[in-house]
């Protein structure tokens, strides 16, 4: 939760509030910095790489997942993008308005909706994704190679712990 202030400062300032509680400040530091980092990365990417194309972070992720797996079912896309199906409905409408993707009904199961990337979407991703990846490289450039793998593994462990 802490941002500008260090954990030590927060701990000192919050001493009166927190001193009588039994707390694990290291676990707290993990979740705190997890969100701080995720939020910083997201905002930075939206303001730099994604700004030109007018895509939000979520719209980009949805388009990316569809691009890799197309034709893709919406339930798969929602799962991969870590968003609810209700949210996906809105994002897909946005992508359709932008002419980047289209919806169609499944021929074998009338309940399913199949999503396909439009030519404009393919053209966009062809240049946007490599650029996106270069920013990803930049963001982790202060972390050594072995540590990057360890970092990804620990983040995966957190997700696994929650989702079972």
Q: Which of residues 78-117 bind DNA (CB under 7 A)?
A: 78, 82-92, 94, 97, 103, 108-113
Residue 65's binding partner among DNA, a second copy, none (Cβ under 5 to 8 angstroms by kind) is a second copy
Residues 103 and 96: beta-carbon distance below 8 Å: yes
Binders in 20-49 for DNA, by CB under 7 A: 39, 43, 46-47
The nearer residue to a second copy, 25 or 52, going by C-beta atoms, is 25
* Shortest Cβ 122–DNA spacing (Å): 19
The helix/strand/coil state of 102 is strand
- Judged on CB neighbours under 10 Å (0-12, 13-18, 19+), 115 is buried
In this chain, which of 32, 73, 102, 139 binds DNA, going by CB under 7 A? 73
* Shortest Cβ 13–a second copy spacing (Å): 6
The nearer residue to DNA, 10 or 59, going by C-beta atoms, is 59
**Token pair for 9:** 């400062």
Cβ neighbours of residue 9 closer than 8 Å, sequence gap 6 or more:
2
The helix/strand/coil state of 54 is coil
Tokens 């072995």 correspond to 146
Q: Which residues of this chain interact with DNA, rule CB under 7 A?
A: 39, 43, 46-47, 56-59, 73-75, 78, 82-92, 94, 97, 103, 108-113
């Amino acid at each position: 939760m802490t941002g500008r202030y260090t954990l030590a400062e927060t701990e000192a300032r919050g001493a009166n509030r927190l001193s009588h509680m039994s707390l694990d400040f290291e676990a707290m530091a993990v979740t705190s910095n997890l969100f701080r980092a995720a939020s910083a990365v997201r905002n930075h990417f939206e303001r730099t790489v994604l700004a030109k194309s007018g895509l939000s972070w979520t719209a980009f992720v949805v388009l990316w997942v569809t691009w890799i797996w197309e034709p893709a079912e919406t339930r798969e896309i929602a799962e991969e993008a870590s968003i609810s199906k209700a949210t996906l409905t809105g994002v897909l409408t946005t992508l359709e308005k932008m002419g980047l993707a289209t919806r169609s009904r499944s021929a074998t199961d009338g309940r399913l909706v199949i999503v396909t990337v439009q030519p404009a979407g393919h053209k966009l991703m062809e240049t946007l994704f490599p650029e996106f990846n270069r920013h990803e490289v930049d963001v982790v450039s202060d972390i050594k190679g072995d540590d990057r793998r360890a970092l990804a593994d620990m983040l995966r462990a957190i997700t696994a712990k929650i989702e079972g």
